Amino acid sequence: MKIAEIRAMDVEAAKEKVVELKAELAKEKALVAGGTRPENPGKINSVKKSIAKILTVINEKNKKQTKEKAKAKR
């Protein structure tokens, strides 16, 4: 996924996407652990990176909201 696509999502949609990707990652890891050769060996790495990107954007959005709330209290 591209970072622009991730930033366009709202937090709830991003969290749902993380759940989907984690399920996909578990499936791919199970195939490798079972001894079968993966169709696309680089897929595990790309899924991990996508999860990390999404979690980073979620974290950024949460921090931004926290800062805005703190400013509003002043």
Give the domain CATH number at 45: 1.10.287.310
* 54, 21 contact by CB (below 8 A): yes
pLDDT digit string, tens, across residues 4-45:
999 999 999 999 999 999 999 999 999 999 998 888 989 999
Number of domains in the chain: 1
Q: Report pLDDT for 47.
A: 97
pLDDT digit string, tens, across residues 39-54:
898 999 999 999 999 9
Q: Report pLDDT for 74.
A: 78
> What is the secondary structure of 6-28 as a DSSP string?
HHHS-HHHHHHHHHHHHHHHHHH
> What is the Cβ-side half-sphere exposure of residue 50, based on CA atoms within 13 angstroms?
22
The mean pLDDT value for 53-74 works out to: 92
Domain that holds residue 42: 3-73
Q: Report pLDDT for 27.
A: 95
